[in-house]
Amino acid sequence: MTSPLSTLTDPVCGMAVTEKSAHAQQHQGRTYYFCSAKCKAKFAADPQQYTQPPPAAQPPLPPVPAAAGTVYICPMHPEIRQDHPGTCPKCGMTLEPMLPALDADENPELRDFQRRFWGTLPLTAIVFVLAMVGHRFQWMDMALQSWVELVLATPIVLWAGWPFFHRGWQSVVNRSPNMWTLIGLGTGAAFVYSVAATVAPQVFPASFMAMGRVAVYFEAAAVIISLTLLGQVLELKARSQTSAAIKSLLGLAPKTARRIRADGTEEDVALAHVHVGDLLRIRPGEKVPVDGVVTEGGSAVDESMLTGEPVPVSKRVGDKVIGATLNTSGALVMRSEKVGSATVLAQIVQMVAQAQRSKAPMQRMADVVAGYFVVTVVTLALLTFLAWGVFGPEPRWVYGLINAVAVLIIACPCALGLATPMSIMVATGLGATRGVLFRDAAAIENLRKIDILIIDKTGTLTEGRPAFDRAVAAPGCDADEVLRLAASLDQGSEHPLADAIVRAARERGMVLDKPDHFESGSGIGVRGQLGGRTLALGNTTLMEQLGVSVAPLVAQAQALRAEGTSVMHLAVDGQLVGLLAVSDPIKASTPEALATLKAAGLRIVMATGDGLTTAQAVGARLGIDEVYGEVQPQDKLALVQRLQKEGRTVAMAGDGINDAPALAQADVGVAMGTGTDVAMNSAQVTLVKGDLRGLAIARALSEATVANMRQNLLFAFLYNALGIPIAAGVLYPVTGWLLSPMIAALAMSFSSASVIGNALRLRSQREP
C-alpha cells in the first residue's frame, strides 16, 4: 500500500502529482510517482536521499513576506544587503526586497505608517487646536489643559513616532548620524520637556511661565510626528512607482508551461518545474515559457517585448525562441535550453534591479556630506539653544528650546539622501521600457561624458548573419547553375557562409542534388563529387592548391571585395565556373544611428576582426573615417587603453565574446542585446534591440538624469542653507520672525516630496 504523501507529491521536486502519472517506480514495497522522467531518474540513482522519514511534527511557521532566497536591500544605501527583513544600520530605513514579487501585497511598511498616521491624526488635530486657541476660549484651566494635551500626545509620540525613535537610536549605536537622529532629538526634546513641565511645573523658574502655566509644546512634537509620517507615506508610495518597470517585466512571463512526457502525453506544469531539455508545446496565442529552440512546427512569434518591433518573426525548426514572447499563429514544439534565472527575461529583470539599487558617484559624495551635515546641525542646534538662553528675550530658555527643535527638524537630510537614488530609479525604469538597460548608476553618469565611440562591425553595425549577395558566372556558364551547384555541395557544411548559400537556393525554389562525396578543407573551402563531376568551392588558396586559374574573374572578385562581401570561387572538374558573394548586410537602422551620434559630437571608430578591405568598404558606406581591420581581442583592448591615455572618454559597442575585454575596459561598455551573454556581462549598458539608435536614447537619458540629480541636490542644499538660519532665529532681531517647529516639519516633508516629484518628471523625457 502506498502512502498518501508519495502518491500525491513528487519526492524529488515536491510537485503535486497523481496516480495517473506516467512516471512511477517501486521502492521497498512502495510506489512513488514523479512529474517527469528526470525526477524519476534522480530518484532511481539515490532512493535513500528522497525516502528518509519526515522529521517530527513542528508547529506551523508564520508566513514569510517574501520567497526564500530573497535579498533585502536599503533603498538609500544599496551596499547594505541581507537575507532577512530589517532596517538599514546606516539610515534606519526598512529594507525591501531587491526584486519585488509580482503578486506581492502592498508594502507592509507603507501599511504600518498609514495606520499610525490615520490612527493618531484626530488626536494631533485636537492637541493642535487646544494649543493654538485653548487659551483664548478658556475651555478649561490651563494647568488641566497641559494634562489633557499630555494624555492625547503620548500615543502620538510613543506609538506613532516609535519607528522614528528606534531609527534615531540605531543611528547613534551604529555611529551613522542621519535624518532620524535629528527627528528623534527634536521631537524627543520637545516631548520630554513638556512632560516635565506638566508633571513638575514647580521646578521651572518663573521665566518659563506663560498664560498661567509652564509653557508646553506637545503640539510641536505631535504635529512633527504626524507630518513626518505623512512624508513617509508619500515617499513610500512614490518609491513603489519605481518598481513598476520590474513588475511589468515580471508580468510578461507565463505562469505555466505545457510539457510533453516521454510517452507523448502532455501536462500543464508550473514554470518553476520546467527543466533544461524538456519538450514543451506552445499553442497559438500562448507565450513561450522559457528560452529554447524549435524542434517541431512553424509559426510567427511576436518578439516586441524584447525588440520593440511590431512585426512577428517567422520561426522554423532550429530557430531560437525566447521566453515571454508571444506565439501568434501556428503550433510549436520547443526544447528548453535556459530556465529560471538563466532566461533572457530573468537577466533583464536582474539588470534593471541591480541598476536601480546601485549608487551613483554623485550619491556617494552626498552620503559623505550628509554624515558631516548631521553633526554640524546638532552643533548648531546646541548653539541656538545656548544663544537664545543667554542673550534672548524672556522666556529665553523656552525660545532657545523651541528654536533648537526647529533647527533639528528643518535640517533633516532626507531630501539630500533621496536626491540621487530617486533619479536613478526612475531613469533605469524608463530606460528598460525603451530597450536600454543600465547595469549601474555610474553608467548613467558617465555615458553623457563620452566623446569617442569604438564600434565592432559584425552584429553591431551589421546584422551578424551572412546573406547571399549574388552569383557571377564565368564566360559560357549560367549564374543560377553556379548557385545551384554550390548549394548542392554546401548542404554538408555547417559554415555560416554555406548556410547562406543553401538558404538562398532553396528560397529560389532550386532542386538541390545530394553530393556523393563531401570533404571540408580547414578554413579554405569544401570539395565533393556531384553527378560524376568533381566540385570545389572556396577561396583563392584552395584554387591554387587545385591548380585552378582564377584569372577570368579576378577583376569581378576584387570589385565584390571592395563592396565588403566575402567571395568564394566554384570550380567544376578543374575549371573555374563562377564566383559567389556573401555579405553581412548593414542594419537598416545603422546609418541613422551613426548620423545622430555624430551630430551629438562623438567621434566614431570601427574596429573589427574582418579583413581590412571589407572593413574599409563598410566604413566608406557608413561615413566612418577611422577603421581598423583584422584586429584581435587584445588589439581592441589596447585601442581603448591608448585612447584613454590620450584623455578621451571612451565607449565601446560590441556583441561578441571577442569584444568582452574592450567592453570591460571602456569607460562605458555597450553590448548588443542580440549578442552573447559574455558581452552583456562585460558591459555597463545593454541595448536590448541590438540597435545603435538605443545608444542615442541612452545618452539623452543620461544627460537628463544627471541634470535632474543636480537639481535635486541643489534644491536640498539651498533648502537647508536658507531654512537653518531662519529656524535658528537669525531674522528675529530685524523682522521678529520665528519658525515654529510645526512649520519646520511641514517644510521638511515638502522638501522630500519636491525631490521625489522632480525625479518623477524624468518619466516625461522624450526620445531624441
Which one has a higher pLDDT value, 269 or 363? Answer: 269
Highest mean predicted confidence (pLDDT) among 364-378, 472-486, 714-728 = 472-486
- 584 phi, psi to nearest 5 deg: -105, 100
Q: What is the dihedral of CA 149, 151, 154, 160, to 10 degrees?
A: -90
For 567, which DSSP code?
E
Q: Which residue has the cell 532620524?
A: 180
Say which residue, 497 or 366, is predicted with more confidence.
Answer: 497
pLDDT at 155: 96
Give residue 333's pLDDT. 95
59-115 pLDDT tens trace: 333 333 344 457 788 766 767 888 777 777 776 677 777 766 666 566 788 889 999
For 568, the enclosing helix (H) or strand (E) is strand 566-572
Furthest CA-CA distance within the chain? 122
Residue 268 has pLDDT above 70, yes or no: yes
pLDDT tens readout for residues 373-401 = 778 878 888 898 899 888 887 778 877 87
Q: 463 CB contacts (<8 Å, ≥6 apart)?
A: 584, 585, 586, 587
Q: What is the dihedral of CA 443, 449, 452, 455, to 10 degrees?
A: 20
In degrees rounded to 5, what are phi and psi of residue 731?
-85, -5
pLDDT at 679 over 60: no
CA 336/CA 334 separation, integer angstroms: 6
Residue 327: is its pLDDT beyond 80? yes
- What is residue 343's three-state secondary structure? coil
Q: Parallel, antiparallel, or unpaired: how do β-strands 650-654 and 452-455 relate?
A: parallel
Please pick, among 456, 655, 659, 691, the residue that the annotation labels catalytic.
Answer: 456
Angle at 537 between CA 536 and CA 542, to 5 degrees: 80
CA distance 232 to 109: 9
Euclidean distance between the first and final Cα of the chain, in Å? Answer: 70
Quick one: which of 59, 34, 100 has its CA closest to 241?
100
Query: Which cell numbers in the block locate residue 563?
Result: 563592396
Burial class (CB in 10 A: 0-12, 13-18, 19+), 28: exposed
Q: What is the pLDDT of residue 138?
A: 78
Which of 256-270, 393-407, 693-707 is the least confident region?
393-407
* pLDDT tens digits, one per residue of 697-751: 888 888 888 888 888 777 777 777 777 787 788 777 777 776 655 565 556 556 6
pLDDT computed for residue 118 by the predictor: 95
Which carries the bigger pLDDT value, residue 353 or residue 686?
686
Contacts 24+ apart (CB under 8 A), 499-504: 499/466, 500/465, 500/466, 500/467, 500/468, 500/582, 501/468, 501/580, 501/582, 503/468, 504/467, 504/468
What pLDDT does residue 422 have? 72
Query: What is the reported pLDDT for 336?
Result: 95
**How far apart, in Å, are the Cα atoms of 193 and each of 215, 364, 468?**
10, 37, 86
All three cell numbers of 50, joined, read 528522497
State the CB neighbour count (10 A cutoff) for residue 647: 7
Cis preceding-peptide flag for 53 (omega within 30 of 0): no
Q: Which residues have C-beta within 8 Å of that of residue 231, sequence separation ≥ 6?
A: 414, 748, 749, 752, 753
pLDDT recorded at residue 644: 87
Q: Give the C-alpha separation, 508 to 521, whole Å.
A: 28
Return the pLDDT at 159. Answer: 96
Alpha-carbon span 499 to 117, nearest angstrom? 68
Would you give the DSSP letter of residue 618?
H
Higher pLDDT, 134 or 229: 229
Answer whether 530's CB lies under 8 Å from 485's CB: yes
3-state helix, strand and coil shares in percent for the chain, rounded to the nearest 5: 50, 15, 30
Q: Which DSSP helix (H) or strand (E) runs through 583? A: strand 575-583
C-alpha span between 498 and 495 (Å, rounded): 5
How far is the C-alpha of 211 from the C-alpha of 647, rounded, in Å? 71
Handedness of CA 546, 548, 549, 555 (dihedral sign): negative
Q: Identify the pLDDT of residue 214.
A: 73
507: which residues sit within 8 A by CB, 6+ positions away?
Answer: none
Q: DSSP strand E in 74-187: where?
A: 81-82, 96-97
How far from 96 is each of 62, 392, 704, 748, CA to CA, in Å?
Answer: 19, 47, 27, 24
Say whether 655 sits in a helix, a strand or coil: coil
d(CA 733, CA 748) in angstroms, rounded, equals 24
Q: What is the pLDDT of residue 310?
A: 42
Q: What is the pLDDT of residue 394?
A: 75
- Give the per-residue SS3 of 149-176: HHHHHHHHHHHHCHHHHHHHHHHHHCCC
3-state secondary structure of 214: strand
Task: Kindly state the helix (H) or strand (E) to which residue 294 belongs, with its residue range.
Answer: strand 291-297
pLDDT of 369 > 50? The answer is yes
Whether the Cβ atoms of residue 325 and residue 319 lie closer than 8 Å to each other:
no
Which residue is associated with the grid cell 577603421? 627
> Would you state the pLDDT for residue 154?
96
Amino acid in position 706:
V
Question: Residue 280 has what pLDDT?
Answer: 96
Lowest mean pLDDT among 417-421, 442-446, 553-557: 417-421
Predicted pLDDT of residue 551? 86
What the block records as the C-alpha cell of 688 is: 536590448
Burial of 673-699, coded b for 16+ CB within 10 Å and e otherwise, reads bbbbebbbbbbbbbbbbbbbbbbbbbb
Of 245, 178, 244, 238, nearest in space to 422 by CA: 238
pLDDT over 70 at 351, yes or no: no
- The model's confidence at residue 17, banded by pLDDT at 50, 70 and 90, is low
Mean pLDDT of 22-38: 75
What would the mean pLDDT of 147-174 be, rounded to a whole number? 90
For the residues 583-605, what does the mean pLDDT come to? 86
pLDDT score of 303: 75
52 backbone φψ class: left, alpha, beta (φ>0; ψ -120 to 50): beta
pLDDT at residue 53 in the model: 46
Average pLDDT of 233-238?
A: 70
Tell me: pLDDT of 579 over 90: yes
pLDDT in tens, 284-325: 889 999 999 999 988 878 776 554 344 467 788 898 898 988
**Residue 79: its H or E element:** none
Angle between helices 496-507 and 479-490 (to 10 degrees): 130
pLDDT of residue 204: 64
Annotated catalytic residue 112? no
Q: What is the pLDDT of residue 246?
A: 64
* Helix (H) or strand (E) segment spanning residue 348: helix 344-357
For 685, the 3-state DSSP assignment is strand
DSSP state of 471: E
Q: Would you state the pLDDT for residue 141? A: 85
E-strand spans in 339-489? 436-438, 452-455, 467-473
Compute the chain's Rg from CA coordinates.
Answer: 36
* Encoded amino acid at 144, one letter: L
